[in-house]
Structure 1
């Protein structure tokens, strides 16, 4: 009897150790803080290959979500979707950006019609560069960058007569974050990185408000 109880106790303990908790807003805030620190640092900026910043931003978001030490198969607190579902929304875009060479300035592996400004290549390029510029702003919100992404791609696709690539009832997780009051600015005016930003703008002949 004692052996049976001990075995039951050990099984219970193992389940307790293996069972992961629900992912929460504090987990997500950790990702946003990490992304803010990365994107506001001019060491990670480029004027020659602007799209790389946005691509690396999204790649780091994927890595952070994937690395969260919580249950990826149950809904995130207040979000109505799982980490795995969120990753599934992001990864196709990353695959496309990599294939076009926007993540490392490599040659595109997708055939491009450079004479057609409605080619998917230009849509991806224009929006990636626009979002990279936004992320260089002192007051950029990492969740707002993703809120800006969907309309950018949608406007370009509409302009070019390309069907949208999202379902009509799609609700962005970033909209949910904003509605919950969790799309916020992480800002410390004493951070020396802001002087580096000014130096970067001066070095590249950019106006003070270039990325505001």
Structure 2
């Protein structure tokens, strides 16, 4: 009984220490690797509902950041940003996608004007599908997908005269990752998942080069 209590106490101490530890690029790398493994697997792809892949990709990024065992209130090493603030940049967009039914049609809570090509639904849908296609590439970088996201949504809103939801001078945290050399490709040519990708493209008549 004493040994069990001691072990439990040590676990609590370790969690406490981890929670106070400054978040690092090593922590972020674990999330990017997990996201890569999810998005490169054709079992998670769909041609009927393309936007789901990007939506699930963003949801999993949120889940991973929320579960990092380090101090979410301190700046990440090498970045002028905390995990809490980073999540604050991601969650509003995810909330909109879900409310528009782009992740799960049953979650739709916003009235959509399907006859208006400038309805927020189409801006979100077009970019989500574009980013989903990119993530299907063998050489897709998970942080590059996020770098592609901001210009896509910004351009769509600008064409339709919709106010932007990013402040002037906004600097993407993914740009900081790329600048520091942490936007990297996780690629093993011997991984059987790549044959599954080719089989998927053949089955659906897709052009591989369309995914760059």
Comparing 200-209 with 70-79, greater Cα deviation is found at 200-209
Query: Which has more helix, going by share of residues?
Result: 2
Quick one: structure 1 residues 114 and 15, their matched pair in 2 at CA, closer, same or farther if it must change by over 3 Å?
Answer: closer
Please provide the CA RMSD for this pair: 1.6
Structure 1's unaligned 5+ residue stretches are: 1-13
> Residues 49 and 105 of structure 1 are in contact (CA less than 8 Å); yes or no, is this contact kept in structure 2?
no
Corresponding residue number in structure 2 for 1:144: 144
Q: Compute the displacement of 1:15 (Å).
A: 11
Corresponding residue number in structure 2 for 1:87: 87
Corresponding residue number in structure 1 for 2:182: 182
Corresponding residue number in structure 2 for 1:44: 44
**Helix, strand or coil at the partner of 2:106:** coil
Comparing 99-108 with 120-129, greater Cα deviation is found at 99-108
**In structure 1, how many angstroms separate the alpha carbons of the residues matched to 2:149 and 2:172?**
11
Corresponding residue number in structure 2 for 1:73: 73
List structure 1 segments (4+ residues) > 4 angstroms apart after TM superposition.
Answer: 14-19
Comparing 14-23 with 49-58, greater Cα deviation is found at 14-23
TM (norm. structure 1) is 0.90
Larger radius of gyration: 1
**In structure 1, how many angstroms separate the alpha carbons of the residues matched to 2:42 and 2:102?**
18
**C-alpha offsets along residues 136-169 of structure 1, whole Å, 9 cap, x if unaligned?**
0000000000000000001111101111110002
> Residues 137 and 208 of structure 2 are in contact (CA less than 8 Å); yes or no, is this contact kept in structure 1?
no
The count of aligned residue pairs is: 199
**In structure 1, how many angstroms separate the alpha carbons of the residues matched to 2:129 and 2:189?**
26
Corresponding residue number in structure 2 for 1:201: 201
> Residues 36 and 186 of structure 2 are in contact (CA less than 8 Å); yes or no, is this contact kept in structure 1?
yes
Corresponding residue number in structure 2 for 1:7: none
**Helix, strand or coil at the partner of 2:80:** coil
Corresponding residue number in structure 1 for 2:122: 122
> Residues 139 and 185 of structure 1 are in contact (CA less than 8 Å); yes or no, is this contact kept in structure 2?
yes
